[in-house]
Structure formats: structure tokens, C-alpha cells
Amino acid sequence: MVDVRRHFLDLIRQDGVRLAPELAAAFEAVPREVFVPEGFHRRDGGWVAPADPEFLPTVYRNDVLVTKMNGDVPVSSSSQPSLMAIMLEALDVRPGMRVLEIGAGTGYNAALLATLGAEVTSVDVQEDVAARARSALARAGITGVRVAAGDGYRGDPDSRYDRIIVTVGVAGLSPHWFEQLTPDGLVIAPVEHAGHHPVLSARPGGPMTAAVVCSSGFMSATGPLGARHAGSHPPSAGELAELTEAAPARWSPPLKTTGYRDLWFAAGAWHGRVTLATLPGHLVLLDRDRTGGAVVLPDGSILAGGVEAERYTADAVTLIDRWWRLGRPSMRSWRIDLALDGDPAAPIWVPRGFTIERRET
């Protein structure tokens, strides 16, 4: 088992993640399989049960393990370990800190936090999920984690925290979290932007701004945390109408994943119709019928279709040129100004203004 988990650390590192010794030790110490005792869905949808020979090897891949579906939609999972590692590094947890996690899921991330020495409260909106996380933590012998069932929008009203980590995709940040943070506290949360959930970091006090930690794709939160707002991009689109090449490739080799995500982030900052086309899985400027528009591929070529194809192709060319002229800013170059929006009865801090602040490429 020690070898399996050492290999697991290598897989996490292969994704370009720098693991501090304490975090590496936590990944090595916590048995991920205990947090998926009934099994999980593979990416292809098939179910992997604990008795299957592929169970342990799959648990220790650097991949998401979906543990609960609602029809075709995943509603709970253990997130991708390399993403968890990046978020935990950004959280800057030190022993003795009080950490609030929104989205207990399997309880695995809470177990890592507790192993890093934090005192953890983890909230999940689904009671059965919270109950299973509690049992898994007990079976793994993890102490120092309290799991509560409830909507994470409210946070944990009677307590104060040094850190808040959100492990579900949100449309914005709850004002309650900022009230519950200590003055030098920090929130790390994946916040919807152009069909993805870039992970943002924000602090209480001062102007309400956020910085980008990394890109990610999470399942979306229920309740006020998932509310649409004035700046929401269109939801991801399914299959688009027939697309034909509207502009040729401009980059050979094509942009790598990080560069493509950087372009995507910038395009979303500058254009309200940018989102994810699930088929073919790329950046799209989606038309108002939601069946066509302009898809930008990693080599810079554009495929377009539908009645507004020309208009969206022109917009896509403008976005690509602008990003290129600015020196291909990384998503970490941006400062995001936040504004209160969403459900008026339960508002959230959503991205409103985007400014390139640092020259990171």
C-alpha cells in the first residue's frame, strides 16, 4: 500500500504540482479507498465496486471519483487529487488553524486538512453525503473533523475560521464567509467563469477583489451559491449545429492546455457569450439560440455555424488578437473585482470587473 501511495504522489507531481513535504505526507497517510467504500463511477460512467480488481489502482490514479449521480448529473465526488493539492497549497494551512470546508463530499479532503493539523468543520448540503463522510472519517481514524449537513451559503454562523475552502463550483462567494473569517483569513473557491470554475482566492476587509489560483471544472453548487446573476455567461452548451472552418489555424504547435485556458479566461473577461461547448469540448462564443456561434480551437482556428456565425467569428478573431497583442497574459495575471449580485434574498460576491494587474505569461 505504501508503494501504491508513493506512486500516487508521483502522478500528482506529474501534473505539474509542487507538493510541500507536509502535504505529500498527508496524501501518503490518508487511505483514499476508505472514503469510497461502496465504489464510484469511472469517467465512462461504469461503476467500480470495491471487489473489482481495478478498484485500488483507480482509487490511486490522479482522477476524480464520482460517488453519486442524479440521473446523468454527478452530484458528489472525490475531486481530482492534483487539483486538491493545488487548492490546499493555496490555502496555506498551518497546524492549529480552524478551517471551514464547503462541500464535504466523501470527506477525503477534510481528512487531508485534519492530517495537516487543522481543526475542520465541513458542510454538505446532502444529508446522506454528510453522513457517509462522517462514517468514512471515523473508519479512517481521523479526528478533528466535524461534518454538518446544511447549505454552505450560511457557512457556520457561530464560529470563526482562519481559512475557508470551497470544493464545489459556486457562482460567487457568500458574504457570510467573510464575516466568519479572522482578519488575516483567506477563502479559496472555484467560481464560475465562461463555462469553467477558475479557483479564486479572496481575503476579508478592504476592497472586494480576488486573484486566480488555477483553472478547474467542478460540479455546481445548489441554492444561492449557484444563482445566476447579471454577469453570468451562458451555461455550457451541448451539441452545436454543423460547424465549418471560418478562420484558419494560426499556431503550430497549438497552444498547450494552460495557454488555451489562459486565452479562454481572457475571452470570458471580455465577452459575455463565452462558454464551454461540451461537444466538441472547446471555447465557444455561443449564439442566442444556443445552437451555433464560433468555436476557437487550440491552434487558433475558428469553426462557426448558425445564423450568427459571421458575427461571432469576427468577435472571436478580435478576442484572440487582443490576447495575443497583450502578450498572452496568464489567468493568474488578472485582478477580479467582485460585486454583490445573485438571489436578492441571499446575495453573493460575483466577478464583475476584470483587470490585468501582473505581467505573468
What's the closest the beta carbon of residue 195 comes to ligand SAM, in angstroms?
Answer: 17
Q: At 127, is the secondary structure helix, strand, or coil? A: helix
Q: What is the C-alpha separation between 18 and 40, in angstroms, rounded?
A: 27
Q: Is 79 a catalytic residue?
A: yes
305 is a contact residue toward ligand SAM (CB under 6 A): no
What's the closest the beta carbon of residue 69 comes to ligand SAM, in angstroms?
Answer: 12
Task: Please identify which residue in 135, 201, 209, 222 interacts with ligand SAM, judged by CB under 6 A.
Answer: 222
First to last CA, the chain: 40
Pick the stretch among 19-27, 91-99, 177-185, 216-224 that binds ligand SAM (CB under 6 A).
216-224
Task: Please identify which residue in 81, 152, 268, 329 interacts with ligand SAM, judged by CB under 6 A.
Answer: 152
Q: What is the C-alpha separation between 243 and 245, in angstroms, rounded?
A: 7
82 is a contact residue toward ligand SAM (CB under 6 A): no
225 is a contact residue toward ligand SAM (CB under 6 A): yes
Only one residue has cell 504522489, namely 9
Q: For 136, phi and psi rounded to 5 degrees?
A: -65, -45
Q: How many residues bind ligand SAM (CB under 6 A)?
A: 26
Q: Show Cβ contacts of residue 30 under 8 Å, excluding neighbours closer than 6 positions.
A: 108, 111, 112, 115, 140, 142
Query: Dihedral through CA 116, CA 97, CA 126, CA 38, nearest 10?
Result: 10
What's the closest the beta carbon of residue 234 comes to ligand SAM, in angstroms?
Answer: 21
Pick the stretch among 70-78, 186-194, 272-280, 294-302 that binds ligand SAM (CB under 6 A).
70-78
What are 19's three cell numbers? 507538493
Q: What is the C-alpha separation between 266 and 331, in angstroms, rounded?
A: 7
Task: Please identify which residue in 30, 97, 125, 227 interacts with ligand SAM, judged by CB under 6 A.
Answer: 125
105 is a contact residue toward ligand SAM (CB under 6 A): yes
Pairing, β 119-124 against β 145-149? parallel
**Among 76, 77, 78, 79, which one carries the catalytic annotation?**
79
Binding site for ligand SAM (CB under 6 A): 75-79, 102-103, 105-106, 108-109, 123-126, 129, 151-153, 167-168, 219, 221-223, 225
Q: Which residues are catalytic?
A: 79
